[in-house]
Amino acid sequence: MIDSLPLSPKQIQSIVESKQARISCWTGAVRSGKTIASLLAFLMAVAEAPDSGLVLCVGRTLQTIERNILDPLQDRTIFGTVADHVHHTRGATTAVILGRTVHLIGASDARAEGRIRGATVYLAYVDEATLVPESFWNQLLARLSVPGARLLATTNPDSPAHWLRKKFILRAAELDLATWHFTLDDNPGLDPAYVANLKAEYVGLWYKRFIQGLWVMADGAIFDAFDETRHVVPTLPAIRRYLAAGIDYGTTNPTHAVMLGLGDDNRLYVTSEWRYDSRIQLGSLSPVEYSKRIRAWLAKQPEQPTWVVVDPAARDFREQLRADGRPTRPGNNSVIEGIRTMSSLFATDKLKIHASCTHLLDEIPGYTWDPDKALLGEDAPIKLDDHGIDASRYAIFTTRRLWRPYVLAA
């Protein structure tokens, strides 16, 4: 089937062994060949599927299912002529694979469970299993009631206390579950230069999980790559474009704004900050007053930013800025992905902060993972003194499409 892609021994082993197991779980490092091995196992299972029972592909959203499952399946360089037997129209909730209708199910929240209730399922493929709600996973297992029914799943590692590890992977023997741990060495197709780049991009917690493929707890300082001597600059280079002002809005908590610029050295710079802390300054401000003061700060900047990105929860404040002639965008509040982006930028020296941003700089070393949440298998920062960080995260993560071509290509 795949002459152009000789499989690694681990890939072959997993494909063979998965035929015998009710649940198959490919875990480990990014880019380590889990998806390709599991998709081959899936294609073989689809080809042999009896008429009774549904075939499902599950992911966080329809878009991730298309990107992570259907796009590779339709790639001729990987699956040869089999790829011609995978049909899907973007946006449709079914695909036809080897003549068989496959239902595509986005399972981003607990409500997703309702979508499969009552169904009889023969085969399910789950992409990024740790990101699927536990209730959905349990319902899915209950639906796999046809004799010989199977569930195939891939995932990167998460917290050691994550339900998928504690309740399933660690109980492999009892549950008729087969699992394989992939590392970058299990993918023979990776170019050493690409591997070196990958390794530089992931740091700390993410290096352990996504490069080493380990289930490790989020523990200690979040920005552990941050180093004052490298990341704080007394002078700025020429700024090619001010991408965004990021604003974290608080009424009892401080309100913090930062300016984000793209330097002519293809690095990101937090060039300036503004902060008002009602706890230590003269009482709380109204949205009208905040809008006035922040607009005055913006007016003093060397250039106006492309976007003003605001805490998505701060509707009244956004409305006020709009009424005052400053339309805004809601910040993308995917906390963990935003933090990971910032970590990786620090690690690769692509994000620097001007020395005048003293409040933001004060927050960074103390920004830590919440140990109580970690014990429950959740990654979450302690919500304390994170206002400058949140403002920066909104600005940086929301504008990622604007800076990526410059910052990551350089």
What, of ligand ATP, Mg ion, none, does residue 330 touch, CB below 5 to 8 Å by kind? Answer: none
Nearer to ligand ATP, 38 or 255 (CB): 38
Nearer to ligand ATP, 33 or 331 (CB): 33
Q: Return the number of the residue (35 or 291) whose C-beta is nearest ligand ATP.
A: 35
Count of positions (residues) in the chain: 410
C-alpha span between 275 and 269 (Å, rounded):
18
**Interface residues with ligand ATP (CB under 6 A)?**
5-8, 11, 30-36, 78, 154, 156, 182, 187-189
336 or 382: CB nearest Mg ion: 336
Give the SS3 label for residue 174: helix
Least Cβ distance, residue 176 to ligand ATP (angstroms): 23
35 makes contact with Mg ion (CB under 5 A): yes
Angle among Cα 378, 382, 385 to the nearest 5 degrees reads 155
Q: How far is the CB of 386 from Mg ion (least distance, A)?
A: 31
Question: Least Å distance between CB 258 and Mg ion?
Answer: 34
What is the C-alpha to C-alpha distance for residues 214 and 127, in angstroms, rounded to an integer? 18
Residue nearest to ligand ATP (CB): 189
Report the nearest approach of ligand ATP to the CB of residue 83 (Å).
12
* Closest separation in Å from C-beta 151 to ligand ATP: 17
Distance CA 179, CA 337 (A): 26
Of 27-35, 91-99, 288-296, 373-381, the segment contacting Mg ion by CB under 5 A is: 27-35
Q: How far apart are the first and last CA of the chain?
A: 38
Compare residues 35 and 139 and give the one whose CB is closer to Mg ion: 35
Q: Distance of CA 331 to CAs 261, 309, 327, 395, 401, Å?
A: 17, 5, 13, 7, 14
Burial of 307 (0-12, 13-18, 19+ CB in 10 A): buried
Q: How far is the CB of 181 from ligand ATP (least distance, A)?
A: 11
Examine residue 187 and tell whether it contacts Mg ion (CB under 5 A): no
Among ligand ATP, Mg ion, none, the one that 156 touches (CB under a kind-dependent 5 to 8 A) is ligand ATP
CB of 40 to Mg ion, least distance (A): 13
CA distances from 278 to 249, 283, 290, 359 (A): 12, 5, 11, 14
Piece of the chain touching Mg ion by CB under 5 A; list 29-37, 97-105, 170-178, 224-232? 29-37
Residue 218 touches which member of ligand ATP, Mg ion, none, C-beta under 5-8 Å by kind: none
Helix axes 34-48, 9-18, angle to 10 degrees: 30
Tell me whether residue 194 or residue 319 sits nearer to ligand ATP (CB atom): 194
Nearer CB in complex with ligand ATP: 31/373:
31
The DSSP code for 376 is T
Indicate if the alpha-carbon torsion angle 90, 91, 97, 100 is positive or negative: negative
**Could you tell me how many helices (H) and strands (E) the chain has, helices first?**
18, 15
What's at 116, amino acid-wise?
I
What does the binding site for Mg ion look like in residue numbers (CB under 5 A)? 35
